[in-house]
Structure 1
């Protein structure tokens, strides 16, 4: 259990575990289990991945579509998608309403090695001196070229 706590606190994702962070609660999901751990970390909204779905097969170019609920006072938002340890790519942000944003982009599988990867999405508020992570999500994806 000690290793899982370290993983959650550091925000790393290891061995097929997916950590979604929302409102000071970390939700650790494994294939057959769901456990909730409290944290004193700053609140981070969870991102709802619409497409591709978790565990999808990524072949060719695929459209990415996600939704996230944000605080009304957040401004100057930016978003990126990252597959595994590869370079982060920017995402387009549009406002659905004053509390929800839509994230869109594309993922080209030919840029990545075949196999299991973790698709990570991050939303940042750039209103302070340094960017602040306000939303994040991680989803398993299989690349096949």
Structure 2
């Protein structure tokens, strides 16, 4: 589990459009790393669209947004195209990055326990330090809260 003030765990993942993304490649930029359970589901779509709508403001403060789920890159490509998402979607199919960030957790739905991604967002500064963490995210107003925190870095 990572905490505020600690060095963000390094990552390198496949991303949409056949590309890749790593924390090291974004040195000097603010990074909004948000983890979500699944492409094209109601809550995840609302969250992605909220970040999409706030993208001009994030770009204005030199912040990169990266959405992470276990979905394969091909599914990310469809999700990104369907909702015109202007930021990168990374694929953590093996859950390694999710585990390092402490978002691969046991969930419980209708009495059934299973492992899944806890909706969470990490704000990382240009030096790779975690400056804010939102866990068990409620989607309404979340992108705005992240933007306000990123402006203060």
**TM-score, structure 2 as length reference:** 0.23
Greater Rg by CA? 1
The answer to which structure has the higher strand fraction is: 1
Higher relative contact order (CA 8 A, sep 6+): 2
The answer to which structure has the higher helix fraction is: 2
**TM-score, structure 1 as length reference:** 0.24
